[in-house]
């Protein structure tokens, strides 16, 4: 998976001189549920991240980096009769109807917070709309929960007159125990997120399309070779 993302990023390096730098920080908020529980309890999730890559004509592609926070809260946990128990290894988790929801330790005090990196592609549509998708890989957690995995997310965007982009996004992620982990089971999460992003024009940072230098060079050469009447 890591090699696929790396190779995808290399393929996204523009071969055309008209490509622009694409930089888009974003923040997301929404609801999620875990498929590892029979009652599928809802819980809150939010994410912070950014997309960086290249924009050419009506398409953009590059790398998507983001951090996600999953948390049920005390009231949500009790409403689904989840009981905290001590496992054989001494770790703590959730247990419901004989099944273990493997978010490792009580979410009352320690939410699940994975980091992820992925490759994204977006396509501009008429009437200031945009669709995008990301294939990502998760590689850790702020609280050192021993899960790794990956997933996919897709969304549709609307660009307002204030250069702020409103995104509606669906995300599927799966997490599995690593070989060195003491967690009890694998699980997956489905999320519906509403996010705001700000596509930053590349000329703000002093770099735009690579075409400007080549075009100016051609103009200079043309100006030298052609006589002025």
Q: Are strands 99-101 and 114-125 parallel, antiparallel or unpaired?
A: unpaired
Average pLDDT over all residues of the chain: 71
| Residue in 191, 117, 190 with CA at minimum distance from that of residue 150 | 117
Q: Please tell me what DSSP assigns to residue 148.
A: E
The tokens 């398409």 sit on which residue?
59
Q: Contact at 8 Å (CB) between 24 and 50?
A: yes
How does pLDDT run across 183-193, given as a tens digit for each residue?
666 778 899 99
Helix H or strand E segment including 105: none
Mean pLDDT along residues 53-71: 91
Q: Contact at 8 Å (CB) between 60 and 20?
A: no
Query: How does residue 101 score in pLDDT terms, banded at 50, 70 and 90?
Result: very low
3-class secondary structure, 130: strand
How does pLDDT run across 151-184, given as a tens digit for each residue?
999 999 998 877 899 999 999 998 887 766 666 6
Q: Please state which architecture CATH assigns to domain 2-217.
A: Beta Barrel (2.40)
What is the structure's pLDDT at 42? 67
The predicted model scores a pTM of 0.67
What is the structure's pLDDT at 2? 53
């Amino acid at each position: 998976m890591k090699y696929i993302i790396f190779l995808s990023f290399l393929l996204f390096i523009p071969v055309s001189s008209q490509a622009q730098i694409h930089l888009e920080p974003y923040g997301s908020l929404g609801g999620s549920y875990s498929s590892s529980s029979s009652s599928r309890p809802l819980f809150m999730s939010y994410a912070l991240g950014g997309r960086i890559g290249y924009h050419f004509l009506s398409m953009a592609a590059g790398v998507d980096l983001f951090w996600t926070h999953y948390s049920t809260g005390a009231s949500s946990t009790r409403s689904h009769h989840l009981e905290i128990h001590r496992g054989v290894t001494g770790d703590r988790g959730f247990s419901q109807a004989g099944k273990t929801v493997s978010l490792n330790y009580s979410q009352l005090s320690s939410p699940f917070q994975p980091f992820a990196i992925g490759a994204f592609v977006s396509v501009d549509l008429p009437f200031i709309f945009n669709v995008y998708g990301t294939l990502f890989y998760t590689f850790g957690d702020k609280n050192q929960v021993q899960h790794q995995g990956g997933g996919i997310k897709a969304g549709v965007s609307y660009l307002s007159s204030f250069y702020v982009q409103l995104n509606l996004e669906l995300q599927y992620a799966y997490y599995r125990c690593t070989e060195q982990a003491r967690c009890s089971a694998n699980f997956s999460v489905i999320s519906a997120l509403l996010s705001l992003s700000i596509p930053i024009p590349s000329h703000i940072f002093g770099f735009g399309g690579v075409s400007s230098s080549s075009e100016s060079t051609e103009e200079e050469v043309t100006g030298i070779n052609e006589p002025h009447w």
